[in-house]
Amino acid sequence: MPLPVEPEIGDIVFIRVTVRPFLEVASATRSWTNHVGIVIGERGGEPLIAESTFPLSRVTTMSRFLARSDRGACVIARLKQPLDAAQRRRLVEAAMRRIGVVYDTGFNLASRRQFCSRFVREVVRDATRIVLGDVETFDMLLRRNPDHPLGFWKIWYFGRIPWRRRTVTPASLLGSGALRVVEDTREGVENVSEGDDPDSV
């Protein structure tokens, strides 16, 4: 199904993957979104998305990317500062340098591996010097959501949650003041999180 808005290089595409670890990320951050990729071009008229995913970061088509989202829904955000030709070129180069990197299941900003929000954040930063989202520790994230059950994360981290680990989340990127939402197809999706009003992002 074609999107009403024509995606451009540098557009950031937020989705909601229904696999358990990703759903836990959404719940912990009180957000609908739990995965993110970035548009780096097109092939045969279809946008191409660069993303950090398991097991390796890669380039995929928009249709395949959206097929992994709950009901195919997405939010597309665009930098408020328009990209010039040199920035678009640098953005594509920055993304391609990160293709084939192993996925970091520990969501560690200091790791040599990658995870989705870090991937997009660093690609945009390298190309434009614009920094999206906030770096937060696990402790900071969960203090804002004290009712979130920790059972899954205790298992995920083998009994010891790394409270001081620095990370960045899809929700933090989506909330960045440097972005504006140009497309939101979540209307009618029943499980939009209570804290993530489609009209407020």
Domain assignment present for 199: no
Domain assignment present for 158: yes
- 23's CB contacts (< 8 A; 6+ apart) are 17, 34
Give residue 94's domain range.
12-190
Domain assignment present for 5: no
For the chain, report the end-to-end CA distance as a whole number of angstroms: 23
Give the pLDDT confidence score for residue 2 in this predicted structure.
66
| Gap between the Cα atoms of 26 and 88, Å rounded | 30
- For the cut 90, the answer to whether the pLDDT of residue 48 exceeds it is yes
Question: Would the pTM of this model clear 0.85, i.e. be above it?
Answer: yes
Domain assignment present for 102: yes
Q: Which tens digits make up the pLDDT trace of 131-143?
A: 999 999 999 988 8
Domain assignment present for 51: yes
| Gap between the Cα atoms of 117 and 187, Å rounded | 24
Task: Name beta bridge partners: 47.
Answer: 42
- For the cut 60, the answer to whether the pLDDT of residue 1 exceeds it is no
Q: Which tens digits make up the pLDDT trace of 66-86?
A: 999 999 999 999 999 999 999
The dihedral of CA 180, 186, 192, 194: what is its sign?
positive
Domain assignment present for 7: no
Give the pLDDT confidence score for residue 198 in this predicted structure.
38
Q: Total domain count for the chain?
A: 1
**DSSP states of 41-84:** EEETTEEEEEE--SSB-EEEEHHHHHHTBGGG--EEEEESS---
Domain assignment present for 91: yes
Domain assignment present for 201: no
| Gap between the Cα atoms of 183 and 185, Å rounded | 7
The CATH number that applies at residue 30 is 3.90.1720.10
Q: Please say whether the beta carbons of 106 and 117 come within 8 A.
A: no
